[in-house]
Structure 1
């Protein structure tokens, strides 16, 4: 059964005091443990919404894991474009964005390896659901528009971000992940929601330790 983990990104994620009275938030620790494969949450979906500032600190996500990014948005013109979600910057990160009426995913590994997946079809105007799937085993990324497969590309070295960094919804709040756009490259349509899902069990270290102890 898929577990839902809701995050209201209008909370001031820059402040460690915003939820937990001086300690890092529960949201931070859950995402931290999942990113480092310490706990097993099964299918874990985190939901994000554009906040007043559009960026949120203390979001930890390991892009090397198989994962899915989905976004719901509305455009009334093919000229509307911009960043859907971005994590990191020019020295490492990833971004999903709309440019030249096409859906684009860019993975930047420590500023040295860049991988680009661009949709073969243009985006329609009106309400749209877009998706990016990363298969860690196959090292490939796949783009979908309204559940229609529109592009696949190799991502041989996924973005190496395994610590908290600038995680942006609706714009690229840090330095640009890609040299194909200039920050903030804010989304000019109406971005409703972004969902980040890890659709597989992550490694349960406690279970592995128990097996090893039983074998001794």
Structure 2
């Protein structure tokens, strides 16, 4: 779990979502229309993913290697209230190539589904620049050009309490790296 205001989390310790299903959930208090900005961002312009609010709607972008910005947008405005959960869930249903997971990304307000789209995920780390993971803003090279406002696209107009990332299924294992590590021990 990551909390807003905490320092950026390097990708080497950020949760591993490669080649697996995952859910990103943000707990927020929304007094009314006007909430805007980044809830969660991991990576940067050459690959990453982000959950954010723009025009009173929840959005998710999976930026595949900087070449394919896969945007999923909610069909309903975010609800006002206390302890509102805004979430994105990726359900892996196949592979396009080894390590390139494919599946359905669904957006939720609580347990109410408000959008979905097909996405593919990249097999390796999101960036070489070490932009890491941020909560409540995107302080590196932007994952997407779809953000509202200006850098660092801080979440505002509501209170962001926390963000949690949950992974399920088998984790991605880089067999080449594993083999090199085993050989180095001998």
Deviation string, structure 1 residues 1-42 (Cα, Å, up to 9, x no partner)? xxxxxxxxxxxxxxxxxxxxxxxxxxxxxxxxxxxxxxxxxx
Q: Equivalent residue for 1:101?
A: 56
Inter-partner Cα distance in structure 1 for 2:5 and 2:132: 14
Judging by fraction of residues, say which structure has more helix: 1
Q: Is the CA contact 1:85–1:95 (under 8 Å) kept in the aligned structure 2? A: yes
Q: Equivalent residue for 2:169?
A: 200
Unmatched runs of 5 consecutive residues or more in structure 1: 1-46, 206-216
Which residue of 129, 148, 152 maps to 1:184? 152
Judging by fraction of residues, say which structure has more strand: 2
Count the aligned residue pairs: 158
Q: Is the CA contact 2:38–2:155 (under 8 Å) kept in the aligned structure 1? A: yes
Inter-partner Cα distance in structure 2 for 1:63 and 1:117: 19
Tell me the TM-score normalized by structure 1: 0.66
Inter-partner Cα distance in structure 1 for 2:169 and 2:110: 23
From the CA coordinates, give the structure whose radius of gyration is larger: 1
Query: Quick one: structure 1 residues 157 and 97, their matched pair in 2 at CA, closer, same or farther if it must change by over 3 Å?
Result: same
Q: Equivalent residue for 1:137?
A: 93
Unmatched runs of 5 consecutive residues or more in structure 2: 95-102, 175-186
Inter-partner Cα distance in structure 1 for 2:173 and 2:13: 21
Aligned ranges 1:74-93 → 2 under 5 Å: 74-93=29-48
Q: Is the CA contact 1:109–1:160 (under 8 Å) kept in the aligned structure 2? A: no
